[in-house]
Chain A
């Protein structure tokens, strides 16, 4: 080490610079994921089922454009819808556009059922609106999908081509549509766009936007805090240097591993910056506080290193273990976050323990220990906390235990809920547009169900048709369901046209049922029919349109519909659920379940690490109390304020446990170092001695995490906010509960002796 601080400084810095440049180049090349693939779990059966669905019925990621017009069914309104339909259909990557202007109804023709346009020319017919209203009243299935109930909003269903490997065309389509929306329109006319593809597009755009904002903000916040605390330029530059090197290396490795940033890992850059600071802060604080007698700069640095290396190593270890526990998650994005946050922490320890000493070796040590006015104020506050813990340990524990008990009341109120739309802020275009479409047209999200006979025979029998119709009616009876797209309404229209009747009824005998399918087989609109039933009629799709709800509602709704399906179809049929929303709901449930495993693993690893450091079962137990309390408080707080467990918030406990335990490790290590038989004295010396550094570390961590509050996604905002809040409460527990427990532990030992 002496070599490194003397002759080895230049080679070391050169090598560090070269490596950092290499990784920085790669870090700068990190892309942003455009399809949210890493937010889906890799559950084999679920993926295979969804692939089969897409292979049979096509993608379920259609876009929905709503056109509000005060005279929609008049000439101007219909011409606008027609113009938009044609214009959008010409955009590269758009397969088809279905709208009021090209919708077909099934009517009685000379030889039975035949297709006829809903909007038949001439458009300057004075009775046009009356004519179209009559058609819409006669075909209730169009309402909700192509036109609102009040006939003022039209829906354009935009089917997108599937181009595997092409990550750009969807974004180009959405940009083109947003361009059309932004154009000036007549008074009272507005356009609104939603769909899964829009969600993916906007998530990518927000990630890029957040990267541009959060990184500079994190640097500014950290620099400010360090400057205020140290009032010394090296106290700012050296920690930021460690942060820069760590971030470059970790993000470079992330890019080299072939990953792109997603909604979760977009938090990595600011969090890496925060997590890589503590080692530097402890080293610089120790160097500044070292006794003036140690004037040899190398000896002074080595002394500080010997003092902090052990606790810093264990702190880094526990933090890394906490994050690495996320590898048990079923979601790739969470696993990537855990692995690379842990890697960053380990790297920051190595870089901090070398770069900071080398940097300090260039400087002349201060003649006297740093004593700033803030420190005096802080130390008075810290002395007061130490006094409270040593003089009234039972009261302190009673107060904190009572708070914990209260927080337990909020835990049952926690809900597992992933709401892709409400993840965004209210001002986000997708949020506003989705809720508009939800209120005026059909539900903006869909659950997909597929029914098939076990023996693989077609669903063309009268029995199969009746079972499909019964299932359709059962689905429609569920709350939150706004409509069901299936082959059943088409069969009703065919039967009405064939029988030349007025009522929408299903075929009532085998011949008519089979004939309806014969007509479907021979129909010209095969693309549309293939979206509802397999070409060989062996499996049928039920596209259940649902209001924009989160997975807390969607998951049990899907289960209830699946139960209906199994009951109504019987043992001879297979009914399965799939689709983008269903998969998100399943992933969300799996994520929370896996986070429980992650937290258990993190806790176990942290206990082992603390046990190895303290070599005392009782002290390890004491160390856990001030760290579990704040996590329980945060959980209770989330339950009380209705903050859902979701992709981001479910990670808090696992990620934070490894961070907050660091203060406890530093505190207990220092306590044992200064303990001379009087626990009260040791607590006072520990609290006022390392308290300022702990507070600074916490302040840096909290502010660093809170930088994420300026992000675009609520789960990451909540993750940042609540992680920071947990760190504050954990600090309070370390300043009150830990010393109170140590006091009581010492008394029991004294009594036992």
Chain B
């Protein structure tokens, strides 16, 4: 390779680096531990909308002292599923600014994941994978949204790699109530049964 070509390649990489870096959300240090999945423990899980026709699953997790309700979506029609989530959100939180910001963030991430699908070649697994974490930890409550890669040993989904694409810190009440709403909806239980399932929130 001639020196001129090598310089051009380095220049292109230099130009490309910031945009790639921008795609990945920067995690504030105070929130980083609560997004670290290496220490998490799955308390309960449920397929959504059902085990027969699943587009994803909702998991109740413990990450150290944090309680997390994580939604893993792995579906070919992610825009539809996100659309349904947004409809429910608007119904649960009419006129709420946190809900509006959450919806905007969710749709933006969905489009970002969609745009990563190649337009002119066929891919074997067309499922678009999106995770949503509602996190309640001591002194903090936030929502993280991102993409992930997964494997399915014996039909069970295991997250191989996670990529945070957006972060939102709404009011703690919004996060806490959504934790309960999502759990009740995903596990098909009454609100009264949600507490024992989630356990004491920090």
Contact = CB atoms under 8 A, between A and B. Distances in A.
Interface of A: 109-112, 460-461, 509-512, 514-515, 518-519, 521-522
B118 A522 contact: no
Contact of A509 (B83, B84, B120): B120
Contacts of A509: 119-120
A453 to B, nearest CB: 13
Nearest to A110: B83
Interface string B107-151: 000000000011111100010000000000000000000000000
B126 A510 contact: no
Given A112-B79, A511-B117, A514-B126, 10 more contacts: A110-B87, A111-B80, A509-B119, A509-B120, A510-B118, A510-B120, A511-B119, A512-B119, A515-B126, A521-B76
Given A111-B82, A111-B83, A514-B126, A519 B120 contact: no
Interface string B63-85: 00000000000011101101110
Contact of A112 (B75, B80, B86): B80
Interface in B51-105: 75-77, 79-80, 82-84, 86-87
A146 to B, nearest CB: 27
Nearest to B75: A522
Residue of A512, A515, A519 contacting most chain B CB atoms (<10 Å)? A515
A510 B119 CA distance: 5
A460 B76 CA distance: 13
Contact of A515 (B76, B86, B118): B76
A110 B76 CA distance: 18
B84 to A, nearest CB: 8
Q: B interface, how many residues as a size bin?
A: 10 to 19
Nearest to A521: B76
Nearest to A109: B83
Contacts of B126: 514-515, 518
A416 B10 CA distance: 77
Contacts of A461: 122
18 contacts: A110-B86, A110-B87, A111-B82, A111-B86, A112-B79, A460-B122, A510-B121, A511-B118, A511-B119, A511-B120, A512-B119, A514-B122, A514-B126, A518-B76, A518-B126, A519-B77, A521-B76, A522-B80
A607 to B, nearest CB: 67
Contacts of A521: 76-77
Nearest to A498: B79
Contacts of B120: 509-511
Nearest to A112: B79
A512 B122 CA distance: 11
A478 B140 CA distance: 70
A231 to B, nearest CB: 84
Contacts of A512: 119
Contacts of B87: 110
A431 to B, nearest CB: 47
A680 B87 CA distance: 106
Nearest to B127: A518
B122 A510 contact: yes
Contacts of B117: 511
A509 to B, nearest CB: 4
A288 B117 CA distance: 99
B77 A522 contact: yes
Contact of B76 (A109, A111, A522): A522
A112 B84 CA distance: 12
Given A110-B83, A111-B82, A111-B83, A518 B77 contact: yes
